[in-house]
């Protein structure tokens, strides 16, 4: 019969050895691939560089955030486009995202062992069970930020739509103040520090520093955030180069966006109401069964 203590020690040694190998593998420098280097130098629209995506870290004094950014760079962890989009819309950094994953994974890995050693006087041997539970808990902890982000995806998209509706209204007001198209966009984006406003302001600032029209940057931002309204706004503001009056067009487009957002919210509220109706009908069914079962039993017993 195998010794549980020996199996536990063997599992711990294998985990430590595997972790050390992963650390050494992550620290080894790798040559840059030619297609990656060319991808940085290539331009998508007339010499415009691609958007840098979410920041690695925002607080240089936060050790956890710096640790998360370091692990992302050294460990070469994948960052899917959908996750990067959610980070941008929530105003979070890559370091904050990976630091949460690391802390939860470490807590899930350590807590079963601490609990096992705490109750060891009552149970005797520790066994291999804490290691198996710890690995499962670490996997759940690593995936937990993704699950939370996915559960809040609808609310994040709704907040982004509301921010864009407000931005449209602000651009209309700035345009009515006799500002040019680019000046209206920049002035409206500087009025708030919400993530959508910050991303639009960054795209406009990058275009201004490179001394080119910001339309391609707004198109790219629209695809990156999956917000077609930004591209619609860029199409409307480009008409300023042709001398067209933009205030009325912007006002009508802002009204269309508000109506579409209101329709989506009503649909969402209707779905929530239907789910609530389902749960409210369960007690009614239970009470109906309570009143119906005794007569049915008596009838079946009499028959």
Got the DSSP string for 129-190? HHHHHHHHHHHHHHHHHHHHHHHTHHHHHHHHHHHHHHHHHHHHHHHHTT--HHHHHHHHHT
What the block records as the tokens of 22 is 């992963």
C-beta of residue 4 within 8 angstroms of C-beta of residue 125: yes
Q: What is the pLDDT of residue 43?
A: 41
Residue in the structure block whose two tokens are 């994974």: 105
Closest CA to 52 of 167, 188, 205: 205
* Mean pLDDT value across the chain: 78
The Cα–Cα gap between 161 and 104 comes to: 31
Query: What's the whole-model pTM score?
Result: 0.67
Q: What is the pLDDT of residue 161?
A: 85
Confidence of residue 67 (pLDDT cuts 50, 70, 90): confident
Confidence of residue 139 (pLDDT cuts 50, 70, 90): very high
C-beta of residue 200 within 8 angstroms of C-beta of residue 285: no
Confidence of residue 48 (pLDDT cuts 50, 70, 90): very low
> Which tens digit of pLDDT belongs to each residue from 7-36?
666 676 777 777 676 666 666 665 655 555
Percent of the chain exceeding pLDDT 90 equals 4
> Which tens digit of pLDDT belongs to each residue from 143-160?
999 999 888 888 888 888
- Whether residue 77 is predicted with pLDDT greater than 70 in this model: the reply is yes
Q: Which of 91-95, 129-133, 156-160 has the lowest mean pLDDT?
A: 129-133
C-beta of residue 198 within 8 angstroms of C-beta of residue 89: no
Sorted by where each begins, the domain ranges of the chain are 56-151, 156-258
The Cα–Cα gap between 220 and 238 comes to: 15
The Cα–Cα gap between 183 and 250 comes to: 15
- Whether residue 231 is predicted with pLDDT greater than 80 in this model: the reply is yes
- Whether residue 45 is predicted with pLDDT greater than 50 in this model: the reply is no
C-beta of residue 188 within 8 angstroms of C-beta of residue 171: yes
**Per DSSP, what are the bridge partners of residue 48?**
45
For residues 185-210, average pLDDT: 90
- Whether residue 38 is predicted with pLDDT greater than 80 in this model: the reply is no
Closest CA to 75 of 23, 142, 37: 23
Q: What is the CA radius of gyration of the chain?
A: 28
């Amino acid at each position: 019969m195998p010794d549980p203590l020996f199996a536990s020690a063997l599992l711990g040694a294998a985990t430590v050895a595997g972790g050390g190998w992963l650390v050494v593998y992550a620290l080894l420098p790798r040559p840059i691939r030619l297609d990656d280097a060319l991808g940085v130098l290539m331009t998508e629209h007339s010499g415009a560089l691609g958007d840098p995506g979410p920041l690695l870290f925002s607080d240089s004094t936060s050790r956890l955030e710096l640790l998360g950014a370091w692990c992302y760079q050294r460990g070469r962890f994948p960052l899917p486009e959908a996750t990067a989009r959610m980070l941008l819309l929530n105003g979070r950094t890559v370091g904050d995202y990976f630091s949460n994953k690391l802390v939860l994974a470490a807590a899930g890995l350590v807590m079963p062992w601490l609990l096992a050693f705490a109750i060891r006087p009552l149970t005797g041997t520790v066994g291999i069970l804490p290691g198996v539970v710890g690995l499962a808990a670490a996997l759940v902890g690593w995936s937990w930020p993704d699950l939370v982000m996915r559960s809040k995806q609808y609310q994040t998209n709704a907040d982004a739509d509301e921010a864009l509706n407000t931005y449209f209204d602000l651009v209309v007001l700035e345009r009515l103040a006799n500002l040019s198209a680019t000046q209206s966009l920049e002035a409206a984006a500087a009025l708030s520090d919400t993530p959508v406003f910050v991303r639009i302001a960054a795209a406009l600032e990058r275009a201004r520093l490179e001394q080119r029209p910001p339309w391609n940057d707004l198109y790219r931002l629209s695809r990156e955030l999956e917000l077609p309204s930004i591209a619609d706004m860029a199409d409307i503001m480009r008409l300023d180069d042709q001398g067209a009056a933009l205030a009325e067009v912007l006002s009508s487009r802002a009204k269309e966006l508000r109506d579409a957002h209101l329709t989506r919210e009503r649909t969402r509220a209707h779905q929530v109401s239907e789910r609530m109706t389902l749960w409210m009908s369960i007690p009614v069914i239970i009470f109906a069964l309570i009143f119906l079962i005794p007569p049915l039993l008596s009838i079946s017993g009499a028959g």
